[in-house]
Structure 1
Amino acid sequence: MPSPRLDIGYIPTPQDLLGDVLTWAAVCEDDILYDLGCGDGRVTIAAAKRFGARGVGIDIDRDRISEAAENAKIAGVGDRVQFRQGNLFESHFGEATVVFLYLLPHLNLRLKPRLFEQLQPGTRIVSRDFDMEDWKPDRTLHLPHPEEECTFYFWQIPIQ
């Protein structure tokens, strides 16, 4: 059976930027990082390997989930991370203390109400390259890279 239809193609974040981004987001061993649209699992794996965080990656593409699980095993963090095949808009991620996104703008906007519904105040959200229109980021980070320049947007779920 083929994987469900994908809303976005997989474009990996350069490995050599992950340490800077995760440091900037203050990821630590107490965190549970959810990567929504995790691809090959590199963000979740880096958070576990470099910072001791636990992590969950969710992707609709079965092949990417298999690849991510294998990458976690190779990296030696299979006990700290898990990968789930699923639709982001039907997934539960309320235990997250950090959420990483690399989705298209219309998908960020569609996901935004679920972020507010599920996440606790203070949860950190990092989005690569795309903001959330009227929800202005608390900070932005521009990282040059030989392959492509990356911009990261950072928010925290406010106290309501």
Structure 2
Amino acid sequence: MRIDEYLETLPGNVLSGEDVQLPEKSLRNIFKFVGLKKDDIFYHLGCGDEKGIEIAVKEFQVEKAVGIDNNFEKIENAKKNLEEKQIQAELRCQDVLDSDISDATVILFWFTDESITNQMLKKFEELKSDTKIITIWGPLPDCIPDKVDFPYIINKVPFTKAKNMQEQLLAVFGVKCVDFVTAWEFAERYTKAIGSPEIKNDRFLTIIQTLVIWINAKKLGVACGEEIPESIQTYIKLMKMNFDIDFEPMLKE
């Protein structure tokens, strides 16, 4: 099975971030990284449950917190939970593309669907100067991040446009070229950030992410050296032999 065929067998929400709830520890790390403070107006786009909003209000005491999600059941349940805890916040059942976010100073935005990210980029560009948009894994389309603590990325208005994908990739990883160690380190950071303690296959996910990072870097011309590292070759063979997942077609594209 080709790696792209394997990825297609996974639920779409796993790949897009939809319905994947960030652990509370990760939410706190994100808020500390972005410097969330009392005078901030915080928006969580695609909030799912109320945890991000609750932490922003209770622990970081933001001036205003707004959660937006198009899942009616989740929003109603989140409203109920916040009411029971007597936490003042605004929850909207809306499509993020239709939402008014004009007063935001900090936005948490975890979407990978290009049809959404490209449209939202236009909305973000209209926000007031110094508004921060936190993304996970990658920056906003064609943008150079303002600050990175991988997998968390701060994009700040007005955005700095990348000359090309190579410049954007190197800005995210903070290195001149991507080798196996860099790919593994960043894949592991991502897996730990989005995973819960109950996850048993985090090493499997880390291997897949490592190979995807390195191969993409190779295709963009920013991998270290011309040859495929022995470690990468070993994991490609392991995935083929043990799991029937073939990365070779991705290398040849």
TM over 0.5: yes
Point out where structure 1 has 5 or more consecutive residues left out of the alignment. Answer: 1-5, 143-150
Distance 1:59 1:91 in 2: 10
Deviation, structure 1 residue 96: 0.6
Q: Which amino acid aligns with 1:153?
A: I
Distance 2:153 2:21 in 1: 17
Deviation, structure 1 residue 136: 1.2
Distance 1:74 1:15 in 2: 19
Runs of 4+ in structure 1 deviating by more than 6 angstroms, as ranges, are none
Matches within 5 A, 1:72-151: 72-77=82-87, 79=88, 81-106=89-114, 107-117=116-126, 119-142=127-150, 151=151
Partners of 1:105 and 1:130 within 8 A in 2: no
More strand by share: 1
> With structure 2 as the length reference, what TM-score do the two structures score?
0.53
Instruction: State which of 48, 65, 69 in structure 2 corresponds to 1:59.
Output: 69
Could you say which residue in structure 2 is the equivalent of 1:3? none
Could you say which residue in structure 2 is the equivalent of 1:152? 152
Higher relative contact order (CA 8 A, sep 6+): 1
Larger Rg: 2
Q: Structure 1 residues 99 and 84 mapped into 2: Cα distance closer, same or farther (>3 Å)?
A: same
Partners of 1:45 and 1:75 within 8 A in 2: no
2:138 partner SS: coil
Distance 1:55 1:102 in 2: 17
Deviation, structure 1 residue 20: 1.5
Deviation, structure 1 residue 67: 2.1
Distance 1:51 1:96 in 2: 16
More helix by share: 2
Deviation, structure 1 residue 76: 3.4
Q: For residues 20-49 of structure 1, give each alpha carbon's deviation from its aligned partner in whole angstroms, at most 9, with x where no partner exists.
A: 210111111111101111110221221111
Partners of 2:107 and 2:132 within 8 A in 1: yes
Q: Structure 1 residues 74 and 152 mapped into 2: Cα distance closer, same or farther (>3 Å)?
A: farther
Distance 1:9 1:20 in 2: 20
Partners of 1:49 and 1:75 within 8 A in 2: no
Identical aligned residues as a percent = 24
Distance 1:153 1:8 in 2: 15
Q: Which amino acid aligns with 1:128?
A: I
2:59 partner SS: helix
Deviation, structure 1 residue 157: 0.6
Q: Which amino acid aligns with 1:21?
A: I
Point out where structure 2 has 5 or more consecutive residues left out of the alignment. Answer: 1-12, 160-253
Q: Does 1:35 align with 2:55?
A: no
Deviation, structure 1 residue 58: 0.8
